[in-house]
């Protein structure tokens, strides 16, 4: 069997910009969407014959809001990817915002080969949803998930946000419970991070008015415990899944697997290089070779291995590191393990939920020690 290879397709359209979001997206009319879909298909086709290319083990439609494109365009895009090569058991994910797609639409996507749906719920609290600038309410989430099940999706995920203004532990737990009640088998829980230039960053200058680190830590640990208790195992800092439902595509990012990203702001790690399409115009222009217009990204595998594998429950395999880094990692990790922030594994160490929360500290400590 060949090494897995992921395909990420960026859909830079949204109906409205959420107040916390600084990902690349813009409202687009029919013509812009059609033009963009065409451009994306041309790039997908151009992947054919690329050295090292093999059938995709996963395809991920992210955004933006991919479902804004409408099912016909999404299907055309997936067909284009399948023409290039799709493994028979490929995981095909699409992100959807609640109430942006109906049961018939979902059924059409399922029939076309989509088999995983990630629903951007963010919260089940109407106040929190309004504050984030979301266009949906809690019931829209429930309906979209039940529509997805009815349409034949078995692999459905919800996103939740932690660290929202006024969010207490009980309120987080009630969102988590509501999420579990929908019957999803996967859940992502992200801590709000104010991105410069977003409306929320202006609303809460320097984070004033947001829960502090301790309160957010409490919320995170409570959510993690509730999810594990319900059988959704934590397999990454922010991701929880029933056995067998971990997102194979996202796992590629954390295990230094290969992936190709197409679209403005999409990143690739392919053929030993990291590179990305910059934001903004240019992607749709004619090209002579599929990665025309990309910019190179600095690559340091050793650092990436430490940084990315410590995000996962599998943890860091010390034997995969250079001796100096391995020594530094063992030193730092065994010290923090004594405080309950890490735990030994067969091959090295993993971080505990408490450790995930301070992973920057731990990782930067290792990198400073190992590379000085």
Partner 1 sequence: MSNTENIRNFSIIAHIDHGKSTLADRLLEACSAVSSRDMTDQLLDNMELERERGITIKARAVNLNYTAADGKTYELNLIDTPGHVDFNYEVSRSLRACEAALLVVDASQGVEAQTLSNTYLAVDNGLEILPVINKIDLPAADVPRAKKEIEDIIGILAEDAPCISAKQGLNIPDVLERIVRDVPPPKGDPDAPLKALIFDSQYDPYRGVIVFFRIFDGTLRTGDTVHMMATGADFDVVEIGKMHPLGLAPCGELGPGCVGYLTASIKSLRDTAVGDTVTLAARPAAEPLPGYRKAQSMVFSGIYPDDGSRYPDLRDALEKLQLNDAALSFEPETSAALGFGFRCGFLGLLHMEIIQERLEREFNFDIITTAPSVIYKVRLRSGEEVTIDNPQNWPDPAGIDCAFEPFVRASIITPPEYVGSIMELCQERRGIHKGIDYLDPDRVEVRYELPLNEIIYDFFDSLKSRTKGYASLDYELIDYRPSQLLKLDILLNGEPVDALSFIVHSDKAYARARKIAERLKDNIPRQLFEIPVQAAVGGKIIARETVKALRKDVLAKCYGGDITRKKKLLEKQKEGKKRMRSVGSVNLSHEAFMAVLKLDE
Q: How is the chain split among helix, strand and coil, in percent rounded to 5?
A: 40, 20, 35
Angle, CA 233 vertex, CA 232 and CA 237 arms, to 5°: 115
CB of 149 to partner 1, least distance (A): 26
CB of 280 to partner 1, least distance (A): 15
Chain CA centroid to CA 190, Å: 10
Counting contacts by CB under 8 A, is residue 10 touching partner 1? yes
Place of tokens 């049961």: 103
Counting contacts by CB under 8 A, is residue 153 touching partner 1? no
Q: How many CA atoms lie within 13 A of 326 on its CB side?
A: 9
Calpha distance 360→20 (Å, rounded): 22
Q: Tell which one of 93, 268, 309, 352 touches partner 1 (CB under 8 A).
A: 268
CB of 147 to partner 1, least distance (A): 25
Counting contacts by CB under 8 A, is residue 190 touching partner 1? yes
CB of 367 to partner 1, least distance (A): 6
Q: Tell which one of 253, 283, 291, 349 touches partner 1 (CB under 8 A).
A: 253
Q: What are phi and psi of 156, to 5 degrees?
A: -125, 140
Q: Tell which one of 80, 179, 237, 329 touches partner 1 (CB under 8 A).
A: 237
Q: Tell which one of 220, 235, 240, 291 touches partner 1 (CB under 8 A).
A: 220
Q: Nearest-CA neighbor of 342 among 306, 361, 366, 315? A: 315
Calpha distance 132→42 (Å, rounded): 35
Q: Tell which one of 160, 269, 326, 333 touches partner 1 (CB under 8 A).
A: 269
Stretch 335-354: interaction string toward partner 1, x if CB under 8 A: -x--x-x------------x
CB of 368 to partner 1, least distance (A): 6
* Secondary structure of 109-155 in HEC code, one letter for each residue: HHHHCCCEEEEEEECCCHHHHHHHCCCCCHHHHHHHHHHHHHCCCCE
Residues 6+ apart with CB under 8 A from 319: 326, 347, 348
Segment near partner 1 (CB under 8 A), from 12-20, 102-110, 134-142, 209-217?
209-217
Counting contacts by CB under 8 A, is residue 111 touching partner 1? no
Contact set with partner 1 (CB under 8 A): 6, 8, 10, 23, 60, 62, 190-191, 193, 213-214, 216-217, 220, 237-238, 252-254, 259, 261, 265-269, 274, 276, 297-298, 303-304, 307-308, 311, 336, 339, 341, 354, 356-365, 367-368
């Amino acid at each position: 069997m060949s090494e897995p290879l992921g395909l990420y397709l960026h859909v830079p359209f949204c109906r409205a910009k959420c107040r916390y979001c600084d990902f690349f997206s813009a409202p687009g009319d029919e013509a812009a969407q059609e033009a963009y879909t065409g451009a994306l298909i041309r790039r997908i086709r151009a992947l054919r014959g690329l050295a090292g290319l093999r059938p995709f083990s996963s395809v991920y439609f992210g955004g933006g809001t991919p479902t804004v494109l409408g099912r016909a365009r999404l299907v055309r895009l997936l067909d284009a990817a399948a023409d290039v090569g799709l493994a028979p058991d490929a995981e095909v994910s699409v992100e959807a915002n609640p109430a942006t797609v109906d049961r018939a639409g979902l059924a059409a996507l399922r029939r076309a080969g989509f088999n995983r749906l990630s629903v951007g719920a963010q919260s089940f609290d109407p106040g929190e949803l309004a504050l984030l600038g979301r266009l949906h309410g809690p019931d829209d989430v429930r309906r979209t998930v039940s529509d997805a099940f009815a349409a034949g999706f078995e692999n459905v995920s919800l996103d939740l946000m932690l660290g929202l203004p006024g969010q207490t532990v009980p309120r987080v737990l009630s969102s988590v419970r509501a999420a579990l009640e929908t019957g999803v088998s996967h859940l992502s829980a992200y801590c709000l991070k104010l991105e410069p230039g977003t409306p929320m960053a202006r609303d809460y200058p320097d984070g004033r008015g947001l829960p502090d680190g301790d309160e957010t830590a409490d919320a995170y640990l409570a959510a993690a415990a509730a999810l594990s208790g319900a059988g959704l195992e934590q397999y990454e800092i922010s991701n929880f899944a029933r056995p067998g439902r971990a997102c194979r595509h996202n796992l590629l990012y954390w295990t230094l697997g290969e992936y190709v990203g197409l679209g403005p702001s999409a990143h690739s790690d392919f053929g030993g290089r990291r590179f990305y399409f910059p934001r903004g115009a240019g992607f749709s222009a004619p090209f002579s070779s599929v990665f025309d217009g990309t910019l190179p990204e600095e690559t340091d595998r050793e650092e990436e291995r430490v940084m990315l594998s410590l995000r996962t429950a599998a943890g860091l395999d010390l034997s995969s590191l250079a001796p100096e880094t391995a020594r530094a990692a063992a030193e730092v990790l065994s010290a923090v393990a004594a405080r309950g922030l890490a735990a030994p594994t067969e091959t090295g160490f993993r971080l505990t939920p408490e450790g995930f929360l301070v992973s920057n500290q731990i990782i930067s400590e290792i990198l400073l020690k190992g590379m000085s």
